[in-house]
Chain A
Amino acid sequence: MSNSYDEVMARKSEIMKKSVGIDYSIFESGSIAFDYERMMKETGYSLQEIEEIQKQTSVGSTPLYELKNITKLVRKFSSPGKGARIFIKDEACNPSGSFKARRAATSVYHAQKLGYKGVIAATSGNYGAAVASQAAMRGLKCIIVQECYDSRGVGQPEIIEKARACEAYGAEVVQLTVGPELFYSFLLLLEETGYFNASLYTPFGIAGVETLGYELSMDFRQREGKDPDVVVITNAGGGNLTGTARGLIKAGAFDTKIVGASVNLEGLHMASDEQFNKKSFTTGHTGFGIPFATWPDRSDVPRSAARPLRYMDRYVTVNQGSVFYMTELLAQVEGLERGPAGNTALAAAFSIAQELDEDKIIVVQETEYTGAGKHILPQLTFAKENGIELIIGDPKEEIPGKNIILPKNPGYMHTTEIDLDKIKRSYIKNCIANYKVETVTENDLEFLAQDTKSSKEYVINVLKDLNVNVER
Chain B
Amino acid sequence: MDAKKGDWVRIHNIILTPDKRASNLPEDTRKVPLEMWDKGFLLNEEANIGQEVEIETYIGRRVTGILVEINPYWGHDFGKCVPEILYIGRQARALLKEGEDIE
Contact = CB atoms under 8 A, between A and B. Distances in A.
Interface residues of A, number: 66
A161 B76 contact: yes
Interface string A75-92: 010000000000000000
Nearest to B24: A180
A434 interface: no
Interface string A14-41: 0000000000000000000000000000
A381 B76 contact: no
A171 B58 contact: yes
Contacts of B34: 176-177, 179, 181, 185
A219 interface: no
Contacts of A328: 85, 88-89
A167 interface: yes
A167 B26 CA distance: 32
Interface string B61-101: 10000000000001011111110110111011101100000
Given A175-B38, A185-B36, A411-B102, A72 B59 contact: no
A142 B38 contact: no
A377 B78 contact: yes
Given A171-B58, A185-B15, A378-B78, A73 B28 contact: no
A384 B84 CA distance: 11
A408 to B, nearest CB: 9
B16 A273 contact: no
Nearest to B80: A381
A173 B63 CA distance: 12
A151 interface: yes
26 contacts: A5-B21, A73-B96, A141-B59, A141-B60, A143-B61, A161-B74, A167-B39, A170-B59, A171-B59, A172-B39, A174-B38, A175-B38, A176-B15, A271-B26, A272-B26, A273-B29, A325-B88, A333-B93, A333-B96, A377-B80, A380-B79, A380-B82, A380-B84, A381-B79, A390-B82, A390-B84
